[in-house]
Structure 1
Amino acid sequence: MKSLRNTTSKYITCIAIAWAFCLASCTKEYQDPSRAKTDVALTSQQGLTAVAIGLQRVYTLNRTGVMFNSVAANGFITNEFSLLNSGNIPELQLSTGGAAVDGTNTILFNLWTSANKIIYDADLVIANAGNLGDKGYASGLIAYSSIFKAMAIGNLSQYWERIPDGTGKNVPFIVRAAGFAKAIAVLDNALTVIAANPISSSFNSNIPPTINIVNTLHALKARYALFAGNYPLALTEANLVDLTKTSSFAFDATSPNVLFTVISSNNVFQPININLGLTGTNVPDVVDKRIPFYTFFAGTPTATIRMGGFATTTSTPFPVYLPGEIMLIKAEVLTRQPDLTNALAELNKVVTKTSDPFGVAAALPALTGPYTQQQLLDLIYKHRSIELYASGLKIEDMRRFNQPVASRKRNFFPYPFQERDNNTNTPADPGF
């Protein structure tokens, strides 16, 4: 049996190599100045593996990665978070909202840059993996890299009206609906590659074990099909996700959970209140066990609200998707068809859930209805807001469920000045 120490050492070595590539490639076109060295690395199985594993590091890395900045930006503009220190200027801009958010915001810049860096590096892996002799290993590289490429495109499409169609110089922009379609195409290609050549055990032994590749491809495809309004595809893909299996980003003392690092300082942001920022009929039931999961009180002499959930320890994993998200995708699609009877049954799977691989369980009595289509949609929005708290998905939900514009602080984000300065195709900023 392979020792944990040796396995961990291998991951750290690969990540270190990949991060070296990352540091060497922070130009506008995300290119490595030492091109010859990169070209050599991209012809070897070891080099491609290092770059692929590096995608996860860029996605989750400290406060510069996609994960943290997506959660933070979304949390402020949808009233999930309360700002604790107005000296944190990027957070202050997002907490204020409106015109206070401009192209200087470093949270948005980090989100934009990290996402485009991931797309660039994933393209290198996908383009070169097919040259390897071991097709099963190659399919693993393509599928794993496609996960991060799709999430990078998806995040850009959630926050900006238009996104770059590529990572080169002066690339054109496409509407965000085309961005979701592009993310789905990336995932489709990965599934096709896997069907032709199943992922080899040797590849699986060389990557962090907490990402379930096949389930994640289907879950993300369901998510982005839902966002794109392709409801039949969203339902088909959601039904292909095995909800007994999990997929998450793992952390440890060397690479700590960035949300815990930020939250534990109690100097940046915390949950806005125990209602998670929800008001009116969306306020969680007082006995909803997801509230003590996502929040708790600590500190002296007066205890204040703190974020729990996926920000509780250095090593708390962060889910790529939650089982509840997949159930709620099914409920929403069935409601919109409409198939209200089966939709309510799917919603009740979330409402009555008493156990969950990640601990997210409302444990509430079943909803009995009868409900109209709009009433069910309202309930689904409410439970998505609770179940998927601080996941970075709420702004997309607010638009899709036609929540009042006044209930959020921005609708779409302005483009980073660095992009505008280097790409003449950058669109005009949205008014709100």
Structure 2
Amino acid sequence: MKKYLNFNIKAIALLMTVLAVSSCETDFDNPNAATDAQVFSSREGILAATIGMQQLYSTTGLRWIVETPAVTTREAGITTTFQNMIDLEDGGDIPNSTSNIVGLWSTMLRVMSISEDIAKNAPDLNINDGTKSGLVAYANLFKAMAIGSMAQNYEQVIVAISQDGDAAFVSRTEAYNTAVALLNEAQNLIAANPISEEFSSEILRGNIDLENTLQAMSARYNLFAGNYDAAISAAGSVDESSTSVFTYDSQNLNPVWSRVFQNGVPNFKPRDSFGLPDSFSIDPADGRVDFYLVPLDELNINQLPIEDLAGFFDEESGTESIPVYLPDEMNLIMAEANLRKTSADITAAVTAINNVRTDNDDVFGVNANISAYAGDTSVDALLDEVYLNRRLELFLTGTSLEDSRRFERPEPSTSAKVFTDERNRNFYPYPNTERDNNSNTPADPSI
């Protein structure tokens, strides 16, 4: 305990410098700030940087990851007149300076920058080999999730930081495959050198099951990249009884709670029926409705029906944990991948769908607990069933825009304020902060 407390005392100051050393080149120099070499050349510094990386992703990062596509895809309806939220719900030609567009992009780049520094410096430190492997694997995990989060929302993305401001852009498929490669490398590292007790106690702290999280993210990004057999294999390797969560406290609040409940002034609320069109029928007995939604007979400022929010976001203190991934996402990945691969496996897909529909003992309590699927077993009909279940199961997890495109839901209008559109953008424009500093920035997508 004394060692742990001593680390925390030393880490507090270092933790506050982590974001500074990875900030954009337009920041002013602070002569009192720790340098990269100081932060990443010591045990205390690199452990603090790793904690800071996770904290940045799970607070500021997760706000942008969840909120931005939620409004775009009608999972959420805005309840404020802040211009960034109006821009998101209106759709159409969203300004490049909108804070959500800038925040999502820049925060993921900051996570990537910290992760690259950790992975570069950890092998040279005089620390336990299992701590080194854990640090690099963890850095790879967060870099992969940052790349994946960008690829879900932007048409082309950056997968490696350039200090010269000339980072190259790659396609989303290449980005997802880069994320998969990082995750594979991480798995190989900890297989060769199992993570140490030091790394487990100082970084994971009983909250993150690293091995299963690496497999889960590999399943997700292999699916998004179209690597269906690899997605099935990775998803099937995840122990559905394991859990990985981001934890919060009074200084680092649950970011969704902060946007919906803090100070009694919500910025958004969930849409009725998870924002799905009437063509999808939700079983009234589906337990996920009551898990995530609280009935509310109200309309938002654009006259869209909204509900109150529950799920992982409504604990009064604002410190409720958020799962890094949900176990039944793995079943939905297996269902979809079995339907999309060259020779569709209908039986395997239906089995995976039913594992979700009939679930009544989910470790997080996200239980549909309804009867097995008894509908049309054509590939198209089953893909609709997968989409419906992804929308309910993975509510406010940041995957909704990627899902809407991948399942070829109706294209958005090019005009703003068409509130009947299922989504109002395909991709977001590139932030002005990137365009002003990187001549490689592509043209903005048309919608």
Q: Same fold (TM over 0.5)?
A: yes
Selected match of 2:219 from 222, 228, 240: 222
What do residues 164-196 of structure 1 show as CA deviations (whole Å, max 9, x unaligned)?
Answer: 242221112111111111111111111111111
Paired residue for 1:104? Answer: 97
Query: Which deviates further from its counterpart, 161-170 or 65-74?
Result: 161-170
How has the CA–CA distance of structure 1 residues 16 and 257 changed in structure 2, closer, same or farther, with 3 Å as cutoff? farther
**One-letter amino acid of the counterpart of residue 210, structure 1:** N
Q: Distance in 1 between matches of 2:27 and 2:113?
A: 7
Q: Distance in 2 between matches of 1:380 and 1:60?
A: 27
Cα deviation for residue 210 of structure 1 reads: 0.8
Q: TM-score, normalised by structure 2?
A: 0.89
Q: Distance in 2 between matches of 1:380 and 1:24?
A: 43
SS at match of 2:308: strand
User: What are the equivalent positions in structure 2 for 1:169-248 lying under 5 Å apart?
Assistant: 169-207=165-203, 208-248=205-245
Q: Distance in 2 between matches of 1:36 and 1:175?
A: 35
How has the CA–CA distance of structure 1 residues 32 and 363 changed in structure 2, closer, same or farther, with 3 Å as cutoff? farther
Paired residue for 1:431? Answer: 446
**One-letter amino acid of the counterpart of residue 419, structure 1:** E
**One-letter amino acid of the counterpart of residue 153, structure 1:** I
**One-letter amino acid of the counterpart of residue 268, structure 2:** F
Paired residue for 2:15? Answer: 18
How has the CA–CA distance of structure 1 residues 294 and 32 changed in structure 2, closer, same or farther, with 3 Å as cutoff? farther
SS at match of 1:405: coil
Whether the 8 Å contact between 1:21 and 1:32 is mirrored in structure 2 is no
What do residues 202-236 of structure 1 show as CA deviations (whole Å, max 9, x unaligned)?
Answer: 11010143111111111001100000000011011
Q: Distance in 2 between matches of 1:179 and 1:75?
A: 22
Paired residue for 1:164? Answer: 158
SS at match of 1:82: strand
Q: Distance in 1 between matches of 2:312 and 2:360?
A: 18
Cα deviation for residue 115 of structure 1 reads: 0.4
User: RMSD of the TM alignment (CA)?
Assistant: 2.3
Cα deviation for residue 28 of structure 1 reads: 3.1
Q: Distance in 1 between matches of 2:50 and 2:183?
A: 16
Q: Distance in 2 between matches of 1:361 and 1:90?
A: 34
Paired residue for 1:311? Answer: 313
**One-letter amino acid of the counterpart of residue 96, structure 1:** D
Paired residue for 2:130? Answer: 136
Whether the 8 Å contact between 1:15 and 1:54 is mirrored in structure 2 is no
Count of matched residue pairs: 421
Q: TM-score, normalised by structure 1?
A: 0.92
Cα deviation for residue 11 of structure 1 reads: 5.5
Structure 2, unmatched stretches of 5+, are 299-304, 413-421
SS at match of 1:306: strand
**One-letter amino acid of the counterpart of residue 198, structure 1:** P
**One-letter amino acid of the counterpart of residue 47, structure 2:** T
Q: Distance in 1 between matches of 2:378 and 2:11?
A: 53
Query: Which deviates further from its counterpart, 6-15 or 313-322?
Result: 6-15
Whether the 8 Å contact between 2:176 and 2:222 is mirrored in structure 1 is yes
Q: Percent identity?
A: 34
Q: Distance in 2 between matches of 1:202 and 1:428?
A: 46
Whether the 8 Å contact between 1:163 and 1:173 is mirrored in structure 2 is yes
Query: Which deviates further from its counterpart, 372-381 or 19-28?
Result: 19-28
What do residues 16-38 of structure 1 show as CA deviations (whole Å, max 9, x unaligned)?
Answer: 52232213542238998668743
**One-letter amino acid of the counterpart of residue 328, structure 1:** L
Q: Distance in 1 between matches of 2:29 and 2:191?
A: 33
Q: Distance in 2 between matches of 1:11 and 1:177?
A: 40
How has the CA–CA distance of structure 1 residues 344 and 13 changed in structure 2, closer, same or farther, with 3 Å as cutoff? farther
How has the CA–CA distance of structure 1 residues 362 and 10 changed in structure 2, closer, same or farther, with 3 Å as cutoff? farther
Paired residue for 2:143? Answer: 149
Cα deviation for residue 370 of structure 1 reads: 5.2
SS at match of 1:270: strand
Cα deviation for residue 343 of structure 1 reads: 1.1
Q: Distance in 2 between matches of 1:215 and 1:320?
A: 11
Q: Distance in 2 between matches of 1:325 and 1:30?
A: 39
Structure 1, unmatched stretches of 5+, are none
Whether the 8 Å contact between 1:14 and 1:53 is mirrored in structure 2 is no
Residue 109 of structure 2 is aligned to residue 113 of structure 1: no
Paired residue for 2:356? Answer: 350
Cα deviation for residue 296 of structure 1 reads: 1.0
